């Protein structure tokens, strides 16, 4: 039985990658190691998300640096593209084809035979719940259907790495939930699902890790919580629900690491800003022993939105 | 980091030969093209002249027909190099019109629909994409040019006998080479124009314009500069020069055969350069 693959062969690696379009910066000095799971690229328009995706998929060669997808470089397209499934941000399909023809003909480009392509095309169509519309022309599809058929073409050849540019745009809530479930299923099988998005709460909900981009630079990467904990200059916010919020506020404010304690608008809790989360949580144990009944403790700003705001500040904001 | 079960297993079945994958592209192109009744009618019209030529060849060898109409053998038009040059000229002109009809629908819809990244995120190169798209034109143009040309030659050879065939076998080669070069040039121009103009009608007009503008500017240069060099940008004159040489006549266009070949080579190179600039997986947004 063969052992697990070497670590580099299970990562999408970018080493000091820069890409310029003439004098226009795409991305600059990007170094990333993306493990399996759902990874979100977050950033405003023009931050370099699509360029980064094009670099990962080998569609754009870096001006400097190296890209390796599961140990394979873009110089080996025959191997690389069998591992990769890509869905572009824009409506992207040849004119005049039905949903089925679209999937079937693009599977044929992988060199598979007729019966395999037919089988895989229908399987992918089923996975995105498009069977009834499969024989209609793609041009007549709604925005949501076009998103789903694009996703189907990306997953049809059963890739190990899925790179999806804004895949949830235009989907209704039900289909959105189904699509997220599909991403999770792929991730649970040890595959990479790399998505770009500017809808931050969605990213927060689905991602194992995030990569935050601004003006072509990676400004932070990792799990949302670890990225948040690295931003020392911004106090961490914690919402504590308890029976005596006023008493709790006055107690915690005595601590030097607490910079703000504010009774919540509904009067049922306190919003506390602290510079030292570890000391704060130790102190909270003491308080709990001193007669204040604590119902819940929840971080209030370890989501992508807050992290992004802290990192990018007033320079720019996501849509 | 989360621990994942590695349950994924990729496709491990047989694969088709890599060289043959470009043939996937014409699959739906033909289906789409033949939805146009006008195109079907035009394509049928392209066979009228070859059919007329076939009838003429047959009748010119039919003694009873000649006797009926009291025509002496040899008084009808000779079936020789001039006959086949006339065939190439007529069918070459029809090939040009067919190119203007078919060419714009090849690359421009893919560009307009942002479909190129889809092709190139598969084990499929830009050269294979161009070959695939070009094969649509090459097949259709071959169908109305050198294929009927060679059929006519075979008909003539079978009726005229072995002596005529051995003495004129070079004509078959000239038909093939002359028309193959022409359809190659037409296809490259059509693809290049289709890749640069996303709007089909404008791309069609541009394909026509390349020839008309070339002829117009060429004539203007010749008149103003008192030279014949302007003819080098008139592709109809250039190909006529090449055909003259292939069919063993003296060219009457005023340019040398070498210059004509160079002109065709430069045209093809420019088209390939234009295609290389446009057929790629991404658009640079500045």
Within a domain: B41 = yes
Closest CA to A87 of B130, B22, B114, B279: B114
ipTM (interface predicted TM): 0.78
Q: Does residue B3 lie within any of the structural domains?
A: no
Q: Do A24 and B16 count as a contact with CB atoms less than 8 A apart?
A: no
> In whole angstroms, what is the distance from residue B200 CA to residue B108 CA?
7
CA distance B165 to B168: 5
Query: Nearest to residue A11, comparing CAs of A81, A54, A71, A86?
Result: A71
Show the CA angle centred on residue A64, arms to residues B122 and A55, nearest 5°.
Answer: 25
Q: A172-186, A197-211, B184-198 — which is least confidently predicted? A: A197-211
For residues B192-211, give the mean pLDDT.
87
Average pLDDT, chain A: 83
- A184 touching chain B per CB within 8 A: no
- Residue A250 has, within 13 A of its CA and on its CB side, a CA count of 4
Asked if A86 lies within 8 A of B10 by C-beta distance, the reply is no
Token reading at B20: 């043959």
Residue A316, pLDDT above cutoff 60: no
Apex A216 CA angle, A211 and A220, nearest 5: 30
Residue A27 has pLDDT above 80, yes or no: yes
Alpha helices in chain A (DSSP H): 49-56, 77-83, 99-108, 114-127, 143-155, 173-188, 200-206, 224-230, 245-252, 277-289, 304-312
- The model's pLDDT over A143-188, given as tens digits with 9 standing for 90+, comes to 889 989 999 999 999 999 999 998 887 777 788 888 999 999 999 9
Q: Does B279 touch chain A (CB under 8 A)?
A: no
Give the nearest chain B residue to A83 (CA atoms).
Answer: B10
Residue A4 has pLDDT above 60, yes or no: no
What percent of chain A has a predicted confidence (pLDDT) above 90?
Answer: 30
Judge whether residue B255 has pLDDT over 70.
Answer: yes
In a 3-state reduction of DSSP, which class is residue A217?
A: strand
Residues of A in contact with B2 (CB under 8 A): 37, 187, 208
Specify whether the CB–CB gap between A222 and A307 falls below 8 A.
Answer: no
Q: Is the pLDDT of residue B48 over 50?
A: yes
pLDDT digit string (tens) for A130-144? 999 999 999 899 888
| pLDDT above 70: residue A266 | yes
Sorting pLDDT into bands at 50, 70 and 90, what band is A14? very high
Residue A190's φ and ψ, nearest 5 degrees, are: 85, 20
Inspect the interface and report whether the beta carbons of A59 and B282 lie closer than 8 Å.
yes
Residue B189, phi then psi, degrees to nearest 5: -65, -45
CA B127 from chain center: how many Å?
Answer: 18
Residue-level length of chain B: 286
Indicate yes or no: CB of B281 within 8 angstroms of CB of A189: no
* A22 contacts B286? CB cut-off 8 A: yes
Rounded distance between C-alpha atoms, residue A76 and residue A56, angstroms: 13
**Residue ranges making up the domain that contains B218:** 24-63+71-278
Tokens 């496709």 belong to which residue? B11
Contact between chains at A190 and B5 (C-beta distance less than 8 A): yes
pLDDT at B283: 55
Chain B contacts of A21, Cβ < 8 Å? 284, 286
- Lowest mean pLDDT of A2-11, A166-175, B240-249, B266-275, name the range: A2-11
Q: pLDDT at position A319, please?
A: 41
Mean pLDDT comparison of A136-140, A208-212, B187-191, highest-scoring range? B187-191
Mutation for testing the B interface, residue in A96, A97, A154, A222 having most B CBs under 10 Å:
A96
- Give the least confident one: A214-223, A279-288, B196-205: A279-288
Is the pLDDT assigned to residue B2 strictly greater than 50? no
For chain B, say whether A191 makes contact (Cβ under 8 Å). Answer: yes
Q: What percent of chain A has pLDDT over 70?
A: 87
Q: Which of A264-273, A286-295, B248-257 has the lowest mean pLDDT?
A: A286-295
Distance from the Cα of A188 to chain B's closest Cα (Å) equals 6
pLDDT score of A3: 54
pLDDT at residue B101, rounded to an integer: 92
Size (chain A), residues: 319
Q: Which residues neighbour A215 within 8 Å (Cβ) at sequence distance 6 or greater? A: A25, A46, A47, A48, A316
- Sequence-separated contacts (24+) of A114-122 with Cβ below 8 Å: A116/B11, A116/B13, A120/A156, A120/A157, A120/A158, A120/B11, A121/A156
Q: What is the pLDDT of residue B61?
A: 85
Nearest by CB to B27, which of A36, A86, A105?
A105
CA dist B197 and B106 (Å) reads 11
Q: Which residues contact A278 (CB under 8 A, 6 or more apart)?
A: none
B113–A111 C-beta distance less than 8 A: no
Cβ pair B15:A110 closer than 8 A: yes
Decide if B254 is inside a domain.
Answer: yes
Instruction: Convert the pLDDT of each residue in A99-127 to its tens digit.
Output: 999 999 999 999 888 999 999 999 999 99
Q: Average pLDDT of B250-266?
A: 91
Question: What is the model's pLDDT at position A182?
Answer: 92
**For position A137, what pLDDT does the model report?**
92
pLDDT at B76 over 90: no
Q: Do A111 and B18 touch (CB under 8 A)?
A: yes
* Fold annotation for A229-315: Alpha-Beta Plaits (3.30.70)
The rounded distance, in Å, linking the Cα atoms of B162 and B152 is 15
Is pLDDT of B72 > 80? no
Residue-level pLDDT at B248:
92
Measured distance CA(B157)–CA(B153) in Å, rounded: 6
**pLDDT at residue A276 in the model:** 77
In this predicted structure, what is the pLDDT of residue A317?
A: 45
What is the pLDDT averaged over residues A202-209? Answer: 80
> How far A39 CA lies from chain B's nearest CA (Å)?
12
Asked if B111 is an interface residue toward chain A (Cβ–Cβ < 8 A), one would say: no
Q: Is-contact A240 A284, C-beta < 8 A?
A: yes
Whether residue B53 lies inside any domain: the answer is yes
Q: Which of B1, B16, B284 sits opposite A35 (nearest CB)?
A: B1
Among A57-71, A174-188, B164-178, the range of highest mean pLDDT: B164-178
Split at pLDDT 50, 70, 90, the class of A231 is: low
* Residue A97: φ, ψ to 5°: -95, 150
Averaged over A205-220, what is the pLDDT?
85
Once rounded to an integer, what is the mean pLDDT over residues B214-240?
90
Name the CATH architecture for the domain at A7-222.
3-Layer(aba) Sandwich (3.40)
User: Residue A318: pLDDT above 60?
Assistant: no
Distance from CA of A20 to the nearest CA of B (A): 10
- The reply to whether residue A93 touches residue B24, judged by beta carbons under 8 angstroms, is no
CA–CA distance, A29 with A217 (Å, rounded to integer): 7
Give the pair of three-digit tokens for residue A18. 């820069």
Give the A window 72-131 contacts with B, CB below 8 Å: 77-78, 81-84, 86, 88, 90-97, 101, 105-106, 108-113, 116, 120
Is B258 a member of any domain?
yes
Q: Is B285 a domain residue?
A: no
Q: How far apart are CA A230 and CA A207, in angstroms?
A: 18
Q: For chain A, what are the domain ranges? A: 7-222, 229-315
Could you tell me the pLDDT band of residue B171, with boundaries at 50, 70 and 90? very high
Q: What are phi and psi of B80, to 5 degrees?
A: -140, -160
Contact B121 A57 (CB under 8 A): yes
Query: In chain B, what's the furthest Cα-to-Cα distance?
Result: 98
Q: Which of B8, B13, B109 sits opposite A160 (nearest CB)?
A: B8
The Cα–Cα gap between A221 and B192 comes to 43
Asked if residues B91 and B253 have their Cβ atoms less than 8 Å apart, the reply is: no
Write out pLDDT tens, residues B123-163.
888 999 999 999 999 999 999 999 999 999 999 999 989 99
A3 touches chain B (CB under 8 A): no
In chain B, the number of structural domains is 1
Is pLDDT at B27 greater than 90 in this prediction? no
């Amino acid at each position: 039985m063969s052992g697990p693959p070497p670590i580099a062969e299970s990562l999408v690696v970018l080493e000091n990658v820069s890409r310029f379009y003439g004098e226009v910066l795409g991305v600059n000095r990007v170094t990333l190691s993306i493990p399996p799971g759902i990874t979100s690229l977050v950033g405003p328009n023009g931050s370099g998300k699509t360029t980064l995706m094009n670099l990962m998929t080998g569609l754009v060669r870096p001006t400097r640096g190296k890209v390796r997808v599961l140990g394979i470089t873009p110089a080996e397209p025959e191997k690389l593209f069998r591992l990769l499934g890509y869905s572009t941000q824009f409506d992207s399909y040849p004119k005049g084809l039905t949903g089925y023809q679209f999937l079937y003909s693009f599977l044929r480009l992988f060199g598979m035979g007729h019966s395999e392509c037919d089988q895989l095309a229908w399987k992918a169509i089923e996975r995105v719940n498009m069977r009834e519309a499969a024989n209609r022309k793609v041009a007549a599809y709604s925005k949501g259907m076009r998103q789903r058929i694009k996703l189907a073409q990306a997953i049809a050849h059963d890739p190990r790495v899925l790179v999806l540019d804004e895949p949830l745009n235009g989907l209704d809530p039900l289909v959105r939930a189904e699509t997220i479930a599909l991403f999770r299923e792929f991730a649970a099988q040890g595959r990479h699902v790399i998505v770009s998005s500017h809808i931050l709460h969605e990213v927060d909900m689905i991602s194992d890790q995030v990569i935050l981009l601004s003006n072509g630079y990676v400004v932070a990467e990792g799990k949302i919580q670890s990225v948040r904990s690295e931003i020392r200059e911004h106090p961490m916010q914690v919402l504590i629900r308890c029976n005596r919020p006023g008493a709790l506020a006055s107690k915690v404010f005595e601590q030097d690491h607490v910079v703000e304690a504010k009774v919540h608008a509904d009067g049922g809790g306190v919003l506390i800003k602290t510079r030292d989360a570890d000391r704060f949580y130790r102190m909270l144990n003491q308080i709990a022993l001193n007669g204040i009944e604590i119902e819940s403790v929840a971080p209030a700003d370890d989501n992508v939105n807050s992290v992004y705001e802290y990192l990018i500040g007033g320079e720019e904001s996501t849509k | 980091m989360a621990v994942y079960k590695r349950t994924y297993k990729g496709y491990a079945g047989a694969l088709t030969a890599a060289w043959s994958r470009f043939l996937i592209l014409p699959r739906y192109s033909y289906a789409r093209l033949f939805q146009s009744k006008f195109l079907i009618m035009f394509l049928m019209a392209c066979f009228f002249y070859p059919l007329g030529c076939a009838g003429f060849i047959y009748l010119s060898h039919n003694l009873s027909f000649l006797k009926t109409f009291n025509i002496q053998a040899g008084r009808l038009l000779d079936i020789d190099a001039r006959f086949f040059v006339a065939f190439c000229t007529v069918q070459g002109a029809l090939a040009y019109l067919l190119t203007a009809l078919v060419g714009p629908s090849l690359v421009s819809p893919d560009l307009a629909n942002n479909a190129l990244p889809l092709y190139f995120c598969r084990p499929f190169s830009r050269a294979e994409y161009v070959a695939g798209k070009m094969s649509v034109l090459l097949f259709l143009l071959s169908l109305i040019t050198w294929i009927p040309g060679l059929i006519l030659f075979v008909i003539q050879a079978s009726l005229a006998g072995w002596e005529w065939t051995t003495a004129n076998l070079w004509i078959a080669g000239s038909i093939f080479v002359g028309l193959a070069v022409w359809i190659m040039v037409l296809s490259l121009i059509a693809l290049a124009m289709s890749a640069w103009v996303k709007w089909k009608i404008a791309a069609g007009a541009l394909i026509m314009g390349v020839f008309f503008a070339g002829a117009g500017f060429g004539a203007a240069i010749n008149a103003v500069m008192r030279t014949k060099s302007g003819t080098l940008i008139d592709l109809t004159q250039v190909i006529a020069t090449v055909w003259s040489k292939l069919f063993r006549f003296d060219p009457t266009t005023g340019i040398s055969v070498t210059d004509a070949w160079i002109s065709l080579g430069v045209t093809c190179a420019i088209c390939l350069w234009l295609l290389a600039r446009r057929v790629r997986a991404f658009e640079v947004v500045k």
